[in-house]
A and B are shown apart, each in its own frame.
Chain A
């Protein structure tokens, strides 16, 4: 997502270590292999990933049991800038001693990375009473945060937009962050429509109706980051130090593994009892901790863009749409009344071709992406690829696309018009600077805890954006880890040791894994196009669409939390009250608080159960009586006929 695919090349081992371990693997090969290892990680190719795993198993031979002064990673850049040392591959043999680190540069917790996860972690820690009163926290960020700090909350939309679930919004409110959010730039998502169109006659759709509060809010990352930063500056004075533009050059464990020393610039060292890696998918902290990841690249790039469309007089723009195409999902996410953002996950050549289109042509193409029947759209994108010719040809113009659409066969649609999908509004233009693409990858770190290190957010896992869960998972990680640290500190524990932090992976790992794998399966299920899967998926979607409790559960996982606490902060009533006018409602009941008949619950289930038991018993008794009577009558008649024969 960051678009920075350059590498951090780890350079391994000191002379003494090499001498000891040389029987296992030659030092230069370690270095080259590990360099290759991380190169291949970011080449989105499944084959290299496989070979990566084979090599990865050899690495620990050389690097296990190497601790403190002997093992070091050099060339650790900041999260946003990995390019500084990517070209050098020489082996660092000499390990210079860590100079004495003064008390001022000694911290309890060092957070690396000043993006969403890192800033949110700092805020989460500030909300914990014991941590805030006893700990010194350092936040290191490689670039300047001025852009975030001075973000005005006006003007063009950023293309990095995330959905924040209701649960996370409630949490952000409770720790005092949400009040700094620019509300006008955060759009509630009240409804969600998911559909696919595998054949002209089938339009399986799930429609998630409004819950009474937004399922999620589409918020620019910059908006969230500025709010977090403001909160840190508001209450973090003397607790959280922020060091901007300080890239971590190397990390080393102190004697006895009691602290981690971080070299930030020339001879400047800081140290911390715990280093938290919130440093993105290419996490240097993860490399330092020698934590392997597994996963695979999707052969998919996501194209993002800000879409403009006229204000609809009928519908408020608070519905998120997602259509599953054979190449991947295309999503329409509301930002404001007249603008929305698009995430079109598609094959890499398609993504390149889309980006090369002129803004007008892209507008036409995106409309086609939402509206054309699937077979027509497929022919259209094929033509687009053909013309693009791997970036050498002249891309299609808007007129040509329109002509093509006119020529291409459009299959006759289903006569039943009520089965027609609810479509997003037709867009009129695209904000061209916002068009960007990034590769998609599923990855999950094998562990979240290293020696005095912990991983949160993208450093621990990356996910396909189709469920909009990446940032939400990161915030949940941060929340959990801050609770664990508070508990540890309240009991006087060492913040950096695994025994004390074990609750963090114990809670988060299975949950994250569940979300990652579910999203992964959804990706493949919805991409597949064959008769059986089409039928199963279509039927499945229709069944799910009819079962409201199930939909609620799905939404609880995918967006809103059904039992989320209502906000107590006075200044943030906007998040709690649905923004839409009751009269504007289109779907469902006319007033959202109206109930449809008696409310169920377990009492109703139990009552129904008892009732049906008595019904069944009564029916069975009756049937038994009838059968018994018939049998008795039969026997009597048989006996009578026997008797009469005699």
Chain B
């Protein structure tokens, strides 16, 4: 891996005390992802080559905007479906139901679980109020808990997530590669009295653009979200790096995607697409799914590791070569809701819950 592919501020922090160990680790990573979507650009045979091609494209500023991880066939697929984005009982029914749980995860990470350096504005713990820990904790996540934060929703589609983030007070930019999606999202938001005001004020914005273009414009965000996008892009490694570069120091990177397991094949492809036809067949490709550990290891090895990202604050978590937290979300067909899966890191249950859909979170160091 070449250092030139990393942004300057990461390079400054990215010191390697033990070179031999890290190179060994890189070999493991390379082996673990040779057959994965992190490396699915047809032209390159090794991850090293692909990063090199990326570094050449970023080094020449004129060609930067031409590079994109967008997959044209995916875009045409979702453009065809764009009219159905806001049909609660249609194609995106499951996505509508997943939206609250995604926001809940963001809330837990961004509002409730603020790490120590971020403690400004928090109610101080006193002996008298010692019984009210839970109350204090929840009060952090009520009201406009995203107030003033700059949020990016990559692959916003019809704007499901963007609208919610905007309602919570965030300054949201929704980006999608399909112009018809952007049109739908914009129309839908303008019809809502509250959101149309936000559009007028500029706190909610939809752009027909790509993450790479924003990155090249030097945009920085407090919260960068890419929900159910990673499994639809070409070169997910480049896509991830691009997202990582847009996160402000102290900001959050939140991803949701699908794991590559027999379970996900059964649920997402066989059941949801082929048998129950909840989702149009062809929406997902098994090869493009990403396993949670691949994602975590990639952040560690290729996106600056603990030098750039906080280690998980959970004391039980003793992982050394993985960055960020993954958490499974499972669909409860009886209640018709998605749930965040609980489980201790490294246990069998945790892994089982992440077998299909999961969320990923990592926080950048200040």
User: Are A and B subunits of one complex?
Assistant: yes
Contact A506 B335 (CB under 8 A): yes
Contact with B191, one of A130, A256, A491 (Cβ below 8 angstroms): A256
Contacts of B168 in A (CB 8 A): 491-492
The residue in chain B whose Cβ has the minimal distance to the Cβ of A101 is: B193
Interface bin, chain A: 20 to 34
Chain A min CB distance to B196 (Å): 9
Inter-chain CA distance A506–B168, complex, in Å, is 26
Chain A min CB distance to B93 (Å): 8
Inter-chain CA distance A502–B88, complex, in Å, is 12
Contact A259 B187 (CB under 8 A): no
Contacts of A491 in B (CB 8 A): 99-100, 103-104, 107, 164, 168
Contact A129 B191 (CB under 8 A): no
Interface bin, chain B: 20 to 34
Chain A min CB distance to B269 (Å): 24
Contact A494 B163 (CB under 8 A): yes
CB 8 Å contact bits of B135-150 with A (1 = contact, 0 = none): 0000101111110000
Contact B144 A134 (CB under 8 A): yes
Contact A133 B144 (CB under 8 A): yes
Contact A490 B164 (CB under 8 A): no
Contact B336 A490 (CB under 8 A): no
Contacts of A134 in B (CB 8 A): 143-144, 167
Q: Is B183 an interface residue (CB 8 A)?
A: no
Contacts of A493 in B (CB 8 A): 99-100, 103, 164, 167
The residue in chain B whose Cβ has the minimal distance to the Cβ of A489 is: B167
Chain A min CB distance to B222 (Å): 15
Contact A259 B88 (CB under 8 A): no
B-contacting residues, A491-531, CB 8 Å: 491-494, 497-500, 502-503, 506
- Max count, chain A CB within 10 A of own CB: residue among B100, B139, B335: B100
Contact A106 B193 (CB under 8 A): yes
- Max count, chain A CB within 10 A of own CB: residue among B141, B143, B144: B143
Q: Is B194 an interface residue (CB 8 A)?
A: yes
Chain B min CB distance to A90 (Å): 32
Q: Is B96 an interface residue (CB 8 A)?
A: yes
Q: Is A542 an interface residue (CB 8 A)?
A: no
Chain A min CB distance to B137 (Å): 13
Q: Is B290 an interface residue (CB 8 A)?
A: no
Contact B187 A129 (CB under 8 A): no
Contact B197 A499 (CB under 8 A): no
Q: Is A258 an interface residue (CB 8 A)?
A: yes
Contact B143 A488 (CB under 8 A): no
Contact A273 B139 (CB under 8 A): no
Contact B191 A254 (CB under 8 A): yes
Q: Is A271 an interface residue (CB 8 A)?
A: yes
B-contacting residues, A464-502, CB 8 Å: 487-494, 497-500, 502
The residue in chain A whose Cβ has the minimal distance to the Cβ of B103 is: A491
Contact B191 A492 (CB under 8 A): no
Contact with B88, one of A490, A492, A499 (Cβ below 8 angstroms): A499
CB 8 Å contact bits of A212-228 with B (1 = contact, 0 = none): 00000000000000000
Contacts of B337 in A (CB 8 A): 502-503
Chain B min CB distance to A131 (Å): 9
Contacts of B188 in A (CB 8 A): 256, 258
Q: Is B97 an interface residue (CB 8 A)?
A: yes
Q: Is B242 an interface residue (CB 8 A)?
A: no
The residue in chain A whose Cβ has the minimal distance to the Cβ of B86 is: A256
Chain B min CB distance to A632 (Å): 58
The residue in chain A whose Cβ has the minimal distance to the Cβ of B144 is: A134
Q: Is B165 an interface residue (CB 8 A)?
A: yes
Contacts of A292 in B (CB 8 A): none
Chain B min CB distance to A419 (Å): 50
Chain A min CB distance to B252 (Å): 16
Chain B min CB distance to A176 (Å): 17
Contact A500 B100 (CB under 8 A): yes
Inter-chain CA distance A587–B139, complex, in Å, is 47
Contacts of B146 in A (CB 8 A): 492
Contacts of A133 in B (CB 8 A): 142-144
The residue in chain A whose Cβ has the minimal distance to the Cβ of B104 is: A491
Contacts of B197 in A (CB 8 A): 103
Q: Is B321 an interface residue (CB 8 A)?
A: no
The residue in chain B whose Cβ has the minimal distance to the Cβ of A488 is: B100
Chain B min CB distance to A81 (Å): 29
Contacts of A500 in B (CB 8 A): 100
Inter-chain CA distance A492–B194, complex, in Å, is 12
Contact A273 B194 (CB under 8 A): yes
- Max count, chain A CB within 10 A of own CB: residue among B146, B168, B193: B193
Contact B143 A494 (CB under 8 A): no
CB 8 Å contact bits of B149-175 with A (1 = contact, 0 = none): 000000000000001111110000000
Contacts of A103 in B (CB 8 A): 193, 197
Contact B192 A499 (CB under 8 A): no
Contacts of B336 in A (CB 8 A): 502
Contact B192 A494 (CB under 8 A): yes
Contacts of A106 in B (CB 8 A): 193-194
Chain B min CB distance to A520 (Å): 28
Contact with A256, one of B142, B164, B187, B335 (Cβ below 8 angstroms): B187
Inter-chain CA distance A497–B88, complex, in Å, is 8
The residue in chain B whose Cβ has the minimal distance to the Cβ of A259 is: B193
Contacts of B139 in A (CB 8 A): 129
Inter-chain CA distance A187–B335, complex, in Å, is 41
Q: Is A108 an interface residue (CB 8 A)?
A: yes
The residue in chain A whose Cβ has the minimal distance to the Cβ of B164 is: A492
Contact A129 B194 (CB under 8 A): no
Inter-chain CA distance A201–B143, complex, in Å, is 65
Q: Is A313 an interface residue (CB 8 A)?
A: no
The residue in chain A whose Cβ has the minimal distance to the Cβ of B101 is: A491
Chain B min CB distance to A484 (Å): 11
Chain A min CB distance to B96 (Å): 5
Inter-chain CA distance A255–B86, complex, in Å, is 13
Contact B142 A130 (CB under 8 A): yes
CB 8 Å contact bits of A284-322 with B (1 = contact, 0 = none): 000000000000000000000000000000000000000
The residue in chain B whose Cβ has the minimal distance to the Cβ of A271 is: B193
Name 14 extra pairs, CB < 8 A, besides A489-B167, A491-B168, A492-B168.
A103-B193, A103-B197, A133-B144, A255-B191, A259-B191, A259-B192, A273-B192, A273-B193, A491-B99, A491-B100, A492-B163, A492-B166, A493-B103, A497-B96
Question: Can you give 30 A-B contacts (C-beta < 8 A)?
Answer: A101-B193, A103-B197, A106-B194, A129-B139, A129-B142, A133-B144, A256-B86, A256-B188, A259-B192, A271-B193, A273-B193, A487-B100, A489-B167, A490-B107, A490-B145, A491-B107, A491-B164, A491-B168, A492-B163, A492-B165, A492-B166, A493-B100, A493-B103, A493-B167, A497-B88, A497-B96, A499-B88, A499-B99, A502-B336, A502-B337
Point out residues on B near A: beta carbons under 8 Å: 86, 88, 96-97, 99-100, 103-104, 107, 139, 141-146, 163-168, 187-188, 191-194, 197, 335-337
Point out residues on A near B: beta carbons under 8 Å: 101, 103, 106, 108, 129-130, 133-134, 254-256, 258-259, 271, 273, 487-494, 497-500, 502-503, 506
